[in-house]
Amino acid sequence: MAKAVLSAKIAGVLVALALLTAIVLYLIPSGDYLLLPDRAHPVAPLVRVQGAHPETGPGGIYFVDVFERRASMFESLFPWIHTGSTLVPANLIVPPGVSDAAARQADLREMTISQKVAAAVALRRLGYKVVAKPSGVIVAALDSASHALGKLQPSDLIVAVNGVATPSISKLRTELAKVHVGDTVKLTVDRGAQHLSIPVETIADPANPKHVIIGFSPAQAAEITLPLRVQIDAGNVGGPSAGLAFALQVLEELGHKIDRGYKIAATGEIELDGAVGPIGGIKQKTYGVRAAKADVFLVPVENAPTARRYAHGLRIIAVKSFPQALHALATLPKKR
């Protein structure tokens, strides 16, 4: 009897220690980030277009984002406790030398740019005259092998290389083609109100060792003048991945019932030429679209295989461009 009581006490102590350990681990941040699903949201409440006369009825356009936050030590050890989550190293979310706050500001800036580009693409599709003047190259993300780590930051705007203006991505590549791998180039960078000169040693392009690169993902900045007032307010949602959804909604606002009665979720970074580029967090976004009970999910071609893996019956349509997305929606069977 005494042994049984002792064993029960020991078991109780072990359980208490295990619970205490779990609580402590949950309070201590890890070196990882968690990507978590968020239910897809209707875009209509966020978009206002001058002269709008949106169609009513069933259906609608939806955008989807991803919750990003630092994982606790407990979550880092047991990420599966959150359905649909993915654990990633912190340096894939916040580059070395960049604060969490700076990375967040970069995300918000990318969202602002994507809104303007989306409006421009949609209005051009309708035949409006849109003026878009390239104004520099945005640092969207830094490669881990780049010598620019700790020097450049996400959302920096590169406006010149070695004193030569680089308003476009193609112009920047032209200037880099004039130097050799290992040369140091002087980058003229706008960072908020700061105007900086930053020396960076170049590296070889892994895909083509003869090509000289700095080691970052570029995005095109442009001064865009629209013929109509378009206001898009996504609140605290950051990043460029809602561009395709915003462009679709602008057409809806101007009376074009492109959803045809379906609940259409869309993700993809949209470029000024209408191209739709890949995005991150597609697993979580697919979960979020399913949670919203959408009928169709438009995704960039590069993201389609992963989206289909987690679709569980959700219809996935892969697209490369805005016109292709419109064609795909126009050819959907009549909604029953």
Domain boundaries, the chain: 34-69+108-126+229-330, 132-222
- For the chain, give the mean pLDDT: 87
Residue-level pLDDT at 282: 95
pLDDT band at 212 (very low <50, low <70, confident <90, very high): very high
Match 């890949």 to its residue by tokens. 278
The long-range contacts involving 185-189, CB below 8 angstroms and separated by at least 24 positions, are: 185/161, 185/214, 186/161, 186/162, 187/152, 187/158, 187/160, 187/161, 187/214, 188/158, 188/159, 188/160, 188/161, 188/163, 189/152, 189/156, 189/157, 189/158, 189/159
Given a cut of 80, whether residue 207 has pLDDT beyond it is: no
Rounded to an integer, the average pLDDT of 102-111 is 72
Residue-level pLDDT at 72: 84
Given a cut of 60, whether residue 142 has pLDDT beyond it is: yes
φ, ψ for residue 104 (rounded to 5)?
Answer: -65, -40
66 in Cβ contact with 35 (< 8 Å): yes
249 in Cβ contact with 121 (< 8 Å): no
Name the least confident of 11-25, 146-160, 169-183, 185-199.
11-25
Residue-level pLDDT at 40: 96
Tens-place pLDDT, residues 245-281 = 999 999 999 988 899 899 999 999 888 889 898 888 9
Residue-level pLDDT at 3: 58
Given a cut of 90, whether residue 110 has pLDDT beyond it is: no
Domain covering 34-69+108-126+229-330 assigned CATH 3.30.230.10 in the classification: yes
Residue-level pLDDT at 107: 72
Residue-level pLDDT at 16: 62
H, E, C per residue of the chain: CHHHHHHHHHHHHHHHHHHHHHHHHHHCEEEEEEEEECCCEECHHHEEECCCCCCCCCCEEEECCEEEEEEEHHHHHCHHHCCCCEEEEHHHCCCCCCCHHHHHHHHHHHHHHHHHHHHHHHHHHCCCCCEEEEEEEEEEEECCCCCCECCECCCCEEEEECCEECCCHHHHHHHHCCCCCCCEEEEEEEECCEEEEEEEECEEECCEEEEEECCEEEEEEEEEECCCCEEECCCCCCCCCCHHHHHHHHHHHCCCCCCCCCEEEECCEECCCCEEECCCCHHHHHHHHHHCCCCEEEEEHHHHHHHHHCCCCCEEEEECEHHHHHHHHHCCCCCC
Cα separation, 73 vs 259, whole angstroms: 43
Name the least confident of 13-17, 224-228, 330-334.
13-17
Given a cut of 90, whether residue 295 has pLDDT beyond it is: yes
Residue-level pLDDT at 235: 75
Highest mean pLDDT among 50-59, 79-88, 137-146, 247-256: 247-256
pLDDT band at 71 (very low <50, low <70, confident <90, very high): confident
Amino acid at 199: P
Given a cut of 70, whether residue 172 has pLDDT beyond it is: yes
Cα separation, 35 vs 29, whole angstroms: 15
- The topology (CATH level 3) of 132-222 is Pdz3 Domain (2.30.42)
Cα separation, 234 vs 178, whole angstroms: 41
Cα separation, 227 vs 38, whole angstroms: 34
Residue-level pLDDT at 195: 95
Residue-level pLDDT at 109: 76
Name the least confident of 97-106, 231-240, 297-306, 314-323.
97-106
Residue-level pLDDT at 17: 62
Highest mean pLDDT among 113-127, 146-160, 304-318: 304-318
Cα separation, 70 vs 92, whole angstroms: 12
Residue-level pLDDT at 326: 97
pLDDT band at 76 (very low <50, low <70, confident <90, very high): confident
φ, ψ for residue 82 (rounded to 5)?
Answer: -110, 120
Of the candidates 58, 41, 40, 60, the residue with the CA atom closest to the CA atom of residue 253: 60
Rounded to an integer, the average pLDDT of 109-124 is 87
